Structure 1
């Protein structure tokens, strides 16, 4: 069974590893990026410019590599749930994986809201290890 249009949109983001050209096509510039408290730099970011600089701009330098891998995608109308894991490699070279659930809101063919819940402890350990 082929993906629904909303799952295809979300899957495209994960499959691209957040490639800038794909991000520009699928993420609404006004997205609300809601990262669970306890996660490094957790909080609510308003707009992709803020999420990019204030969240990813602070998180990424702490790792040699960091990325989200979507494993299961569920269509719920204007929402898509993704179960997956973050794969991180610390600056010291240690690899770790932390589970996540992402809830995406889709409006007019763009991702407009992300709510993230993740195993923050594992990510904090990787960041500090």
Structure 2
């Protein structure tokens, strides 16, 4: 895939608000999900099942709404897509916030194979814990 196709793939994922069926459609079976330390659930996860169960499962227990919003997209010729954006969050207690992120995606064979995330974890923590 070329850079515009790679960006379109990532945009599709964000446009779905990370819907589970789209997640399954676009993620590589060998997915590596690298979340910055300090972010809730920060760590490295391997495979879509682990990401869903071990990362999103505990994270989403804290939110009525949590989804990525891509704002700017850039790609290189090496299969990377760089996204600047924010997580839109609404906690179970009704607190809302938008926490900025930078995502670096690696696309392989038309699938999202790796995510490296950097985010404002303090904003997310305050939404959860007050």
Question: Does the TM-score normalized on the shorter chain lie above 0.5?
Answer: yes
Q: Distance in 2 between matches of 1:64 and 1:33?
A: 22
Q: CA deviation at 1:20?
A: 2.3
Partner of 1:35: 35
Gapped regions of structure 1 (runs ≥ 5): none
Gapped regions of structure 2 (runs ≥ 5): none
Q: CA deviation at 1:120?
A: 0.4
Q: Distance in 1 between matches of 2:24 and 2:69?
A: 19
Deviations 1:81-105 (A, max 9, x none): 0000011111221111110000000
Q: CA deviation at 1:128?
A: 1.0
**Aligned-pair RMSD on alpha carbons?**
1.1
Aligned 8 A contact 2:24 2:48 in 1: no
Q: CA deviation at 1:19?
A: 1.8
Q: Which contiguous aligned blocks of 4+ residues in structure 1 show a shift greater than 3 angstroms?
A: none
The alignment's TM-score, normalised by the length of structure 2, stands at: 0.94
